[in-house]
Amino acid sequence: MSERTLEELARHVGGELRGDPGLTIRSAATLEEAVEGQISFLANPRYFRLMETTRASAVVVGEAQPLSVSQIVAPDPYYAFAQMVVLLHGHRQHLGTGISPRASVDPTATIGAETHIHDFATVSAGSRVGARCVLYPNVYVGPGVEVGDDCVLYAGVVIYDGCRLGNRVIVQANATVGEDGFGFATHRGVHHKIPHIGRVIIEDDVEIGAGSGIERGTLQDTVIGRGSKVGDLVAIGHGVRLGPGCLVVAQAGIAGSTTLGHHVVLAGQVGVAGHLKIGDMVAVGAKSGVNRSIPAGQRVFGYPAFEQRQSTAAYAAFKSLPQFRRRLIELEERVEQMEARLSAGAAETGGA
Closest distance to a second copy from the beta carbon of 38 (Å)? 9
C-alpha 157/C-alpha 178 separation (Å) is 11
Element (H, E) at 311: helix 308-318
The number of residues that bind a second copy (CB under 8 A) is: 125
SS3 assignment, position 329: helix
Counting contacts by CB under 8 A, is residue 243 touching a second copy? no
C-alpha 4/C-alpha 194 separation (Å) is 58
Q: How far, CA to CA in Å, does 240 sit from each of 41, 196, 197, 259?
A: 37, 13, 14, 6
Has 238 been annotated as catalytic?
Answer: yes
72-111 residues in contact with a second copy (CB under 8 A) are 76, 78-79, 81-83, 85-86, 89-92, 95, 102, 104
List 185's β-bridge partners, or say none: 192
Closest distance to a second copy from the beta carbon of 65 (Å)? 20
252-311 residues in contact with a second copy (CB under 8 A) are 253, 255, 263, 268-269, 271, 273, 286-287, 289, 291, 303-304, 306, 310-311
C-alpha 220/C-alpha 251 separation (Å) is 24
Counting contacts by CB under 8 A, is residue 324 touching a second copy? yes
Contact assessment for residue 262 and residue 242, using Cβ atoms and an 8 Å cutoff: no
303-322 residues in contact with a second copy (CB under 8 A) are 303-304, 306, 310-311, 313-322
C-alpha 67/C-alpha 27 separation (Å) is 21
Counting contacts by CB under 8 A, is residue 14 touching a second copy? no
34-53 residues in contact with a second copy (CB under 8 A) are none
21/297 with CB nearer a second copy: 297
Name the one range near a second copy by CB under 8 A: 48-56, 57-65, 109-117, 244-252. 244-252
Closest distance to a second copy from the beta carbon of 187 (Å)? 4
C-alpha 72/C-alpha 10 separation (Å) is 6
Q: Cite the active site residues.
A: 238
